[in-house]
Amino acid sequence: MTAEGDGKLNQREQAAKVRTFDTVGELLHWSYANLASLDAAYGRGLTKRDRICWGVRLKLYAGLRSGSMKVGTLFKDVLAAPTDRCVYCGTMPPPKLTGDHLIPKARGGLETGDNLVWACRACNSSKQGRDLLEWYAARTEFPSVTLMRRYLKLALVEADQRGVLDVAIADNPSVTFSLDYVPIKYPEPGQPFALTRR
């Protein structure tokens, strides 16, 4: 890669840092596209996202906004989720696994299996009725790509059902997920990074 290429990348990154998102849909689509760029980095064994990863993000975000690309169904995520160990910490039985809702039912999260994961007793009692993102923020950690992807898909389904995708965030739309914690920025692979309120 040339020095000039690096310069362009940095400019693009700078642009992303100051990017603002007015609507619920813009925020969720950007977060999803940014997550896809991180997933692309993991898939290619990179420690830092490169030009190809940024390309994934730009293309996916533009496609999601224009409607020419769609977020995948939750079915794949549900099938891929572990049922023999805690989805949060990876602890395998003997600790008894109990069902946990990524988006709490008490906040109106979906009651379907799409929202249900298996967690160990320790994680379950630590998380309690909290939203996934708020719980990770409280622990100054960042969710895995698979958990984050599922959460964003759930949020998109739910926002669509409520008809708030095009509502301005400033208007405080009624949503069940933690709008304030949906990340705009993502860590590089393996980099310690705490989820925080935007």
The residues that touch Zn ion, with contacts defined as CB under 5 A, are 86, 88-89, 91, 120, 123
Instruction: Identify which of residues 60 and 86 has a Cβ nearer to Zn ion in the complex.
Output: 86
Least separation in angstroms between CB 94 and Zn ion? 13
| 154-to-29, 71, 139, 189 alpha-carbon distances in Å | 12, 11, 22, 23
Least separation in angstroms between CB 103 and Zn ion? 18
Least separation in angstroms between CB 154 and Zn ion? 20
Sign of CA dihedral 42, 185, 195, 104: negative
User: Residue 13 is inside which H or E element, if any?
Assistant: helix 3-18
Instruction: Identify which of residues 71 and 133 has a Cβ nearer to Zn ion in the complex.
Output: 133
> Which parts of 67-99 fold into alpha helices (H)?
75-80
Instruction: Identify which of residues 24 and 123 has a Cβ nearer to Zn ion in the complex.
Output: 123
